[in-house]
Structure 1
Amino acid sequence: MSSERSAVMTAGEELARAREAFAAARRIVVKAGSSSLTTPLGTIDADRVDALVDVLAARRAAGKEIVFVSSGAIAAGLGPLRLARRPTDLALQQAAASVGQGLLIARYTSSFARYGLTVGQVLLTSNDMIRRAHHRNAQRTLDQLLALGIVPIVNENDTVATDEIRFGDNDRLAALVAHLTRADALLLLSDVDALYTDDPRRPGARRIEQVREPADLEGIRIGGPNQTRKVGTGGMVTKIEAARIAGVPVVLTNAASAAQALAGAPVGTYFHPSRESRMSTRHLWLAHATTGQGRLILDPGAVEAVVRRRKSLLPAGVTGVEGDFAAGDPVDLCGADGRVVARGLVNYDAAEIPDLMGRSTRWLARELGPEYQREIIHRDDLVVLDLEPNT
């Protein structure tokens, strides 16, 4: 037997063992997109919901804990509001979510009740991941629901979200919920049965069995969001990004293959945990699920301190401010060349910062009062985005 043949077999055996471990996961997050739950007209597909609940209930009966991240609130509201497709107007999106979320949770309540299971609705926004108190509360709520034997149904709070409503098809949310709940595995259900080297409808497109590192994705043509049904917002890009930050083994497949995936069968695409996922949930959310509401321009010394030494951003290192933001908002930190190097939660309003720039915190405390002896952004509220900035 050649060494090449032996290596191939070894890789195959490694993947088989990894899938067996996936099947043995005690706590698993399962995410389903809008297209997996609704009809093309936007109404909830009761048969699809029941079929997926059948699979999840079977895992519960096998002694596993399930956290279900479900899209579909906006999509479910399209039919009752007589909308032909997902609206682009924010207020109309929020109205659809308000109508659809109630219909969605009612359907899940009824479907899981067939197995004597109770569901609990958990609606999250970015603040619930970023703010320390909110983060702890969300974690405690999910832990308590699981301890009580409840199936948490998690969704983004689209009825009040603004920037968050354009976040995606809940793929990143599912990855961060995996961190939040300390899950052992994540199953992403899509309308495509796996990741392919090209559009699976094209001749020659090949299914990718596993992804170990970013290099495994080189040369792959990844399409955008589903343009046929127009009920969801996610695409393969957001699913790959979710797998990258999940911190646990991830399987990507379609709803029809959910039972097989959870049983460890060779379906879909298996993603091994990545190095980036070692960041905390709050920092992952800050990096991937927020948009800078303004920009702070830093001098080279501040860039060095923030990026390489992981220090807080002090007023002395800020040379410019752009945008209109309030204390507590996420802002981008840039070098003199405009390149974004980090993002953080700012402690001051945009209008306050020009008077602070270039000053030491000691000078500010003496001249303006002790409340000004603090960082522009504390290091605990800051995430580095570019490890090799031009300083």
Structure 2
Amino acid sequence: MTDSDSSQLRHAAIEGARCVVVKVGTRVLTDPQGKLDRRRIESLAEGLCQIADTGRQTVMVSSGAVGAGMGKLNLDRRPTDLAKLQAVAAVGQADLIQAYEKALAGCGRHAAQVLLTRNDLRRRDGYLHVRNALASIHELGAVAIVNENDSVAVAELMTTFGDNDRLAAQVAGLLDQALLIILSDVDGLYDGPPDATGSRRIDLVKSLDEEILGLAQDHRSTLSKGGMSSKLSAAKLATAHGHSVIIGPGRDDAVLEKILRGDSIGTLFLPTQRTLRGRRRWISGSAEVEGQLIVDAGAARALRENGRSLLAIGIHAVQGKFNAGAVVAIVDHDGNEIARGLCNYPSKEVDRIKGKISDMIAGILGHRPYDSVVHRDNMTLRI
């Protein structure tokens, strides 16, 4: 592919985006002492407003609450005790949103704080409520500043940079025709360790296959490449939802302006040809999995290769207790997850009809509202 072709694809991805979700992590937002870099907030706010001024819905998924709290409390080191981390995050969250508000106000806009936990997106009604709230914030001309609720989110706090990459992909999944921009402490995805002689930045990724994912996994010990595996996983989720993704240099003060202009900066990931929409997008990216259905080899092959619905005859075992309508994981005998979907029957009934042909369901249960246990229209193959 020529540089001209790559440039055209970049411009098409940007011009086709009605929404832009920008994710910035702790390493970009903090100084060497781990405290909030307010000058960085100001440059990011300017870029966010430039995007918003084009009429696009603009959302920032931001880490940095702990760094802000450290600065506010004059702490020299990041606490290691969980309770203290939660307290520092609670203090810092107020300071973080104030920093965004001050910076955005200088450009004529306001910051709207949106704190989320995973549970907010796991239920379909909560998922839709968050989407509607983000739409209303946009209608008011404000910029949504989204963060995982660090004061209660244990998994996020116990790492230097947590699951905000996936959170950003899930937020992008709420929106239509979105571009996800993940700002990193490296310039993009490299074909080797970023600081090694001869390593080159990859400008365009058409397909996030195992070879591309291996570029992060093979060099996980390299300090400057920390977190790339998480970013690629987020990019894989977002591209499956039909969104383009750019991983770019967060420490470039003009990075958002350059991306908006279509400059060759960072790495562009193109969406997959078959993308998930509506309820299937929620099932794949956000819904809480309440149980497992273990299937035989024939059912696994039918799901993977033919896109079939899951019938009772292919189910070998049921794990967990759940009601009808719950999201379940469908796994093979080796424990590999094949798909997720909405189960038409509660676990106690699936356990009674597993291994039986569909014509026998009514005789066993006294009713047969569905021929399939999980219908293909309510199922997503794992990405």
User: Does the TM-score normalized on the shorter chain lie above 0.5?
Assistant: yes
Which residue of the partner structure matches residue 165 of structure 2? Answer: 171
Which residue of the partner structure matches residue 84 of structure 1? Answer: 77
Which residue of the partner structure matches residue 3 of structure 2? Answer: 12
Name the SS of the counterpart of 1:275 in structure 2: coil
2:38 to 30, 46, 51: 46
The 8 Å contact of residues 361 and 373 in structure 1, kept in 2 or not, is answered as no
Partners in 2 of 1:29 and 1:264 — Cα distance? 16
Matched, 1:35 2:32: no
Partners in 1 of 2:287 and 2:85 — Cα distance? 19
> For the structure 1 residues 65 and 294, does the alpha-carbon distance in structure 2 shift closer, same or farther, using more than 3 Å as the test?
closer
Cα distance, 1:88 vs structure 2: 7.7
Cα distance, 1:42 vs structure 2: 3.3
Q: TM-score, normalised by structure 1?
A: 0.76
Cα distance, 1:62 vs structure 2: 4.5
Name the SS of the counterpart of 2:181 in structure 1: strand
Which residue of the partner structure matches residue 330 of structure 2? Answer: 333
Greater Cα shift, 179-188 or 281-290: 281-290
Greater Cα shift, 197-206 or 93-102: 93-102
Query: Which residue identity does 2:243 align to in structure 1?
Result: V
Partners in 2 of 1:86 and 1:329 — Cα distance? 39
Q: TM-score, normalised by structure 2?
A: 0.78
Which residue of the partner structure matches residue 269 of structure 1? Answer: 267
Partners in 2 of 1:291 and 1:227 — Cα distance? 33
> Cα deviation per residue 1:100-127 (whole Å; 9 max; x = unaligned)?
3322222212221122211212233444
Greater Cα shift, 279-288 or 173-182: 279-288
Which residue of the partner structure matches residue 191 of structure 2? Answer: 197
> For the structure 1 residues 83 and 218, does the alpha-carbon distance in structure 2 shift closer, same or farther, using more than 3 Å as the test?
closer
> For the structure 1 residues 259 and 318, does the alpha-carbon distance in structure 2 shift closer, same or farther, using more than 3 Å as the test?
same
Which residue of the partner structure matches residue 4 of structure 1? Answer: none
Matched, 1:185 2:179: yes
> Cα deviation per residue 1:340-382 (whole Å; 9 max; x = unaligned)?
322345577867864564465424542xxx6998976565553
Which residue of the partner structure matches residue 123 of structure 1? Answer: 115
Return 5+ residue gaps in structure 2 as ranges: none
Query: Which residue identity does 2:113 align to in structure 1?
Result: Q
Matched, 1:249 2:244: yes
Which aligned pairs between 1:256-335 and structure 2 lie closer than 5 A? Answer: 256=252, 257-275=255-273, 278-280=275-277, 283-284=280-281, 286-287=283-284, 295-300=292-297, 302-303=299-300, 306-308=303-305, 310=307, 313=310, 317-322=314-319, 324=320, 326-327=322-323, 331-335=328-332
Partners in 1 of 2:174 and 2:339 — Cα distance? 23
Which residue of the partner structure matches residue 5 of structure 1? Answer: none
Which aligned pairs between 1:344-383 and structure 2 lie closer than 5 A? Answer: 344=341, 354=351, 357-358=354-355, 360-366=360-366, 377=374, 379=376, 381-383=378-380
Greater Cα shift, 44-53 or 311-320: 311-320
2:93 to 94, 97, 101: 101
Greater Cα shift, 104-113 or 52-61: 52-61
Partners in 1 of 2:134 and 2:377 — Cα distance? 24
Partners in 2 of 1:14 and 1:99 — Cα distance? 48
Query: Which residue identity does 1:224 align to in structure 2?
Result: R
Which residue of the partner structure matches residue 72 of structure 1? Answer: 64
Name the SS of the counterpart of 2:59 in structure 1: strand
Partners in 2 of 1:81 and 1:315 — Cα distance? 60
- Give aligned-pair identity as a percent: 36
Which residue of the partner structure matches residue 143 of structure 1? Answer: 135
Say what the alpha-carbon RMSD is for the aligned residues.
3.9
Cα distance, 1:21 vs structure 2: 3.5
Partners in 2 of 1:206 and 1:356 — Cα distance? 55
Cα distance, 1:192 vs structure 2: 0.7
> For the structure 1 residues 152 and 191, does the alpha-carbon distance in structure 2 shift closer, same or farther, using more than 3 Å as the test?
same
The 8 Å contact of residues 188 and 239 in structure 1, kept in 2 or not, is answered as yes
Partners in 2 of 1:348 and 1:321 — Cα distance? 12
Partners in 2 of 1:262 and 1:282 — Cα distance? 30
The 8 Å contact of residues 194 and 269 in structure 1, kept in 2 or not, is answered as yes
Cα distance, 1:144 vs structure 2: 1.7
Which residue of the partner structure matches residue 382 of structure 2? Answer: 385
Cα distance, 1:189 vs structure 2: 0.7
Cα distance, 1:200 vs structure 2: 1.8
Partners in 1 of 2:222 and 2:329 — Cα distance? 30
Cα distance, 1:98 vs structure 2: 3.2
Query: Which residue identity does 2:105 align to in structure 1?
Result: A
> For the structure 1 residues 219 and 69, does the alpha-carbon distance in structure 2 shift closer, same or farther, using more than 3 Å as the test?
closer
Name the SS of the counterpart of 2:109 in structure 1: coil
